[in-house]
Structure 1
Amino acid sequence: MRSPRLSGVQMAGWLFADLLLVLVVVVLGGETPANRPTQPGPQDTQTPPGPTLPGPSTSPPTTPPPAGGLDPHTRSITVRVNPEALIGGSERATASLREQVARKSRQFPGERVAFVMVFGNAGRLPGGAVDTGTSTAFAKAVARLLPSAAPEFFPRYHKEIIRGYHNTDPRIPSGTAEIELFFLLH
């Protein structure tokens, strides 16, 4: 009977497949939109000699095309609220969270968030370790309330656009949510 362990050749095949997947993700992540405006070069500023033929306009658009992609420089805001109360649906905890988020989002005038990651830290287990289950539930509760706290700033809630995760750093006080903001490039 053969051993269930993979041979060196099989491991190399899996490693190659994993590396190929990483390469695809990096290439796709580095793509820039095709409609991105470019700086005119000398050849773009001169009119070619001869008659002009009817066809598509070569004049620049009056408004620039929309920017594409996420700004790699994220911003963040931090809020503090009783995690158990927020998870339980407390009106007081919900109002406190909404007030903090509305106030802190004003530091980004004219901006609108495209993607959000919420890192929640809530509850401790015996021995001082962070309770990841409660922390994740706390982060998800915060994530669901963000659009109602600042509707002009946050996109509508969808679990793929506004995501909640736990933060296991024991130095962060329980009831702290760090909200990582990703803006679109301008």
Structure 2
Amino acid sequence: MSGARLAGWLFADLLLVMVVVALGGEKMTEGAGARIRPELTAGPTSTPAPSLTPAIPAPAPSSPAAPAGGLDPDTESITVRTDPEDLIGGSDGAAASIRRQVVQKAMQFQGERAAFVIVFGNAGRLPGGAVDTRSSTAYAEAVAKLLPAAAPDFFPPYDEKIIRSYHNTDPGVPSGTAEIELFFLLH
């Protein structure tokens, strides 16, 4: 398909979306019984022109004490280290080491509870020098699964949607490092 024809279809789709939004907005104001308020056009002697914006009362100012909700964009992180092959292989010693480190480092967040967690793991490099993404992701997942049991009052229960595991491709991060990025709720 040529670029001009593709642009034409894109324009037509955009126009269709604008029409649907405009008609949907018009139906909403009719159904809600809202009146369309006139807006003055430029010039003192002109007659008022109808506005396409419905007369919607301004929202009441929110109380400063009310929580805003959602995740705080300012994150915190903790770093733990162990032999990735041992942890992936099911070593009790490697798992105990991770749990000890997590408990110790989570103490700095006394009274808080993580709402969302991302674990970035690095399990070493391949012969060509690239990060071993498969092993690194498996390492991150092994660490992630230990978090709720290590500090149940701090971490949410394990769920892949809430505690996510990824590989870390940063060349400056040594093998065996797991960075745990912590997201808290806004207060």
Return the TM-score normalized by structure 1: 0.69
The alignment partner of 2:141 has SS state of helix
CA distance in 2 between counterparts of 1:135 and 1:72 reads 26
CA distance in 2 between counterparts of 1:75 and 1:10 reads 45
Q: Identify the match of residue 3 of structure 2 among 1, 7, 14.
A: 7
1:128–1:170: 8 Å Cα contact kept in structure 2? no
1:139–1:165: 8 Å Cα contact kept in structure 2? yes
Length, aligned pairs only: 142
Gaps of 5+ in 1: 21-33, 40-63
- State which drifts further: 118-127 or 146-155: 118-127
Gaps of 5+ in 2: 18-58
**Structure 2 residue 76 is matched with structure 1 residue 75:** yes
TM-aligned CA distance change 1:171 to 1:10, over 3 Å: same
TM-aligned CA distance change 1:82 to 1:11, over 3 Å: farther
2:76–2:182: 8 Å Cα contact kept in structure 1? yes
Give the aligned residue type for 1:7.
G
**Structure 2 residue 146 is matched with structure 1 residue 126:** no
**Which residues in structure 2 correspond to 1:47-66 (within 5 Å)?**
none
Give the aligned residue type for 2:6.
Q
Task: Give 1:86 deviation, angstroms.
Answer: 0.6
Give the aligned residue type for 1:146.
L
Give the aligned residue type for 1:70.
L
TM-aligned CA distance change 1:9 to 1:145, over 3 Å: farther
User: CA deviation digits over 1:77-122, x for unaligned, max 9?
Assistant: 0000110111111000000000000000000010000000000011
CA distance in 1 between counterparts of 2:3 and 2:85 reads 50
Corresponding residue for 1:50? none
User: CA deviation digits over 1:39-89, x for unaligned, max 9?
Assistant: 4xxxxxxxxxxxxxxxxxxxxxxxx66551111100000000110111111
The alignment partner of 2:149 has SS state of helix
CA distance in 2 between counterparts of 1:153 and 1:10 reads 52
Residue identity over aligned pairs, in percent, reads 64
CA distance in 2 between counterparts of 1:116 and 1:132 reads 19
* Cα root mean square deviation, aligned: 2.7
Q: Which has the larger radius of gyration?
A: 2
1:86–1:94: 8 Å Cα contact kept in structure 2? yes
User: CA deviation digits over 1:4-52, x for unaligned, max 9?
Assistant: x6634426839x98xx9xxxxxxxxxxxxx9x9514xxxxxxxxxxxxx
Corresponding residue for 2:169? 168
- State which drifts further: 123-132 or 94-103: 123-132
2:124–2:174: 8 Å Cα contact kept in structure 1? no
Corresponding residue for 2:63? 38
Corresponding residue for 1:180? 181
